[in-house]
Structures are given as structure tokens and as C-alpha cells.
Amino acid sequence: MAALPLLFLAALTVKQDQTALRRGCDASDELIANLPADTRVEPLFVIADGSNCYKVNAVLEGRTVTGYISGAALNGTDEFEKARAVSSDLVEHISAPRPVKQVDDQVRLQVNEPSLVEAGNLIDANQPAQALQILETLSKIRKRDPDLFALAGIAAYRSDQIRMALDYWKQSLELRPNDSLARLYAIVEKEAAADKSADKLYGNRVLLRYEGETLPAEIARAAVALVDSEFARISSDLGCTSDERIVVIVQSREAYYKTTGAAEWSGGQYNGRIHIALLEGHEIGPQTRKALAHEVVHACLTNIPSGAKRWPAWFQEGMAQKLTGDQLSPETRLELQRLASAHQLPKLEDLGQNWSQMSSKNARAAYDLALAAVDLLYQNYQNYGIRNVLNNPERLPQITADLDHRLGF
């Protein structure tokens, strides 16, 4: 991924009083707030499906609110689009869209029954089909357990059985209302309606689902071979295993954006399934190959136990870049050093997990910082070994603090 300078993005303001900020781009989506005229908003990204819908942050009565708003309701979009055009190849990958994780975490906090805990652990270990077997059996006995049905829906979703996931989530919502699950249900329902990727191919480590009209069968077979070989290469470095096939969904750009609601700078996502946009038309070109490899790193790391917490985002994204050959330019390294010295960058532990909330400018800086940190990790912990880091996740906070120091914080 080419390193890019940080960009100044034009400020956007709301045109009229009582402008709706919603949880989605549709007029029927839940209202978050009505924004006064001249409210300044920070653009996070534009939904790249032609809907002219912006995801933004706004400060309202002293608190930050995040939601979606029509570009037609904003001043300054022309300048913003010009700034975006200057850097059309910003960050291309992002992991773990948050609605699934949010519901997953919420359910885990509420369950302590051994069978449900076991199923949850299998999902964490990228074995959702095995988890689903346990949960399907339990669902026939415990027919009024909303947590069981919510978790079964997650296992079904991760197993690429979307309709089954929606059925389980519907049963859970009927038993107990849950705003987070209701939002996830609505998102996945839209995804299912827009997704036309019905053709399937199986490899040693991958189940590829694709649009036959978009991707010729011989190209799809090449994609399966590519993911199998990339998993073998990456797992030899990191030591991950895969008891179940990784689900990879390859779509046209248009279908990818419609089904994922991704930012315009995104070409790949991982949320237990790999989603990839065909970045070079109807073939697997260099960009798409790199996107596939990047997301395979996320899938590999997910299969390695991380202790009480998930692998932090900086580690995930830094490793994904490192293992797909990304390099920082000398100019970018100097810029990172300058920003760190001026206290204009967050420490690694403060980067958080949800990078999908970031603007393209901040995402670029976060990705550069993550790669710089992992470069230092390889340079300074060669004797200890990257596998030892992965096998001893309790040491990662100490290592993170050391890397912060080396980065100049």
C-alpha cells in the first residue's frame, strides 16, 4: 500500500435546521438526532453505492454523535470530493465491521452456561459450523432462550448461512427486544437482499462464493488456489490452523458496497467471512490479490488464541500490511516521527478497535502507524520471535509500551 501524506479535508456544515442524522442511509432508518443549521460535521466516509450518503461525526449539546446524512443536506461537499479525488487509493482494507462484534460481545457477557460458552469459544476459533451444531441441538430443547438464538445466528452468519442467521435472530428478538441485535438484523437483511453471489467453489482451506456473471469460473478457481496458497504461506509464518474452511465472498465493486455499506476507500473486509471487491474489473489483478492476502492474515490471526482480549487493531492491521509486502517510504517515517514528537498521534494502545469510524485521513495515519510499529516489532524482537509473541499474548501490553517508546511517544 503506497504511503500517502496526511490530507486536509474540507469542513462540512449542515444546510438547514432539523436535518436528520440517522442510523443508516434510508429515510426509514432510526433517527439519532436533528441537527441545527451550520452544525459542523466531520466526514468519516462516503457510502460508495451512488446514494450520496455520508457517515459523519457531529457535536450536539457537548457530545459527539455518529450517523448518516445525505450529501444534499451539507455545505462543502464539492471541496470534500476534490480532496478525496487527490487520494483515491487510500486504505483498501478494514477488518471486523462492528455490528456483528457488538452483538457477539453483548451475548457473551450474558451467558455462563457451559454449552453456550463452548459454542462461543468455537466461534472465536473460527469454527462456527461446529458451534452451530451445538446450538442447533440446544435450540430444539431450549425454545425460549434469546441468548442462545442470538449466538446461533452469529454462528450461522459466520458459516455463511444468512437466512438461517436471520431466522435465529428473529426468534431472539421476539423473545426479548434488543436494539443492537435489531440493527444487526436490519443490516444483514439488506445484505441478503442485495447479495447475488450464489456460485460456490471449494478449496483445501476456502469456500469461495462469487457472482458467476461477474467472475468467470476459471478466474474463480484461480482465486481459490490463491487463497489456499496464501493461507499456507501466512500460517507457516504465524502458526495458525484452520479446522473449517474460510468463507470468501468475491463481488463486483458495486455489489460489494451495497452489501457491506463500506467506505469508498475500502476494498476488503473481514468479519468472520472475507468480503472482497473486484478492484480490476472481471479479473483477479494485483490489487485484488493483495486485498485477499490482507484479509487472510486477519482470518489467520483470528484462529490464534489471544487471551482475554482480541488482538488489538494496530497489531492486526500492522501484521496484515507487513505480511502482504507493504512498506513505508522514508518520507512517511519522518512524518510519523514528527507527529509523534508533537503529540499529534495516539499511542498504539489508544488506537482502539473500531477503525471503520475513522475518516480516510485518520485511517491512513492509523495504518501507517500500525505498520511502523510492526516493523519495529520484527526488528527488536527477532530473538524472541513473532510466534512467541503470538503464543504469549499476555506479554503484548508490555511490548506495546516498548514500541510506543521506540516510536517517539
Per domain, the residue ranges of the chain are 12-89, 98-194, 199-302, 313-407
Overall CATH class of domain 12-89: mainly beta
- For residue 247, what are the contacts with CB-CB under 8 A and spacing of at least 6? 158, 159, 160, 206, 207, 209, 272, 273, 274
Q: Are strands 12-14 and 74-75 parallel, antiparallel or unpaired?
A: antiparallel
For residue 281, give the DSSP letter. Answer: S
pTM of the full structure:
0.72
Which ranges of the chain have pLDDT less than 50?
A: 1-9, 85-97
Residue pair 181/172 in contact (Cβ under 8 Å)? The answer is yes
| CA-closest candidate to residue 149, choices 114, 179, 119 | 119
Edge-to-edge strand ranges of the sheet holding 74-75: 31-35, 19-22, 63-70, 53-60, 40-46, 12-14, 74-75
- For residue 81, what are the contacts with CB-CB under 8 A and spacing of at least 6? none
The string over 323-344, giving b where at least 16 C-beta atoms fall within 10 Å of a residue's C-beta and e elsewhere, is: bbebebeeebeebbeebbeeee
Domain 199-302 architecture: 2-Layer Sandwich (3.30)
Phi, psi of 375 (to 5 degrees): -60, -45
Domain 98-194 architecture: Alpha Horseshoe (1.25)
Q: Are strands 12-14 and 19-22 parallel, antiparallel or unpaired?
A: unpaired
| CA-closest candidate to residue 14, choices 100, 66, 76, 90 | 76
pLDDT score at 211: 86
pLDDT score at 353: 67
CA 158 to CA 152: how far, in whole Å? 10
CA 228 to CA 374: how far, in whole Å? 25
| Longest CA–CA separation in the chain, Å | 62
- For residue 59, what are the contacts with CB-CB under 8 A and spacing of at least 6? 39, 40, 65
pLDDT score at 360: 64
| CA-closest candidate to residue 124, choices 295, 310, 248 | 310
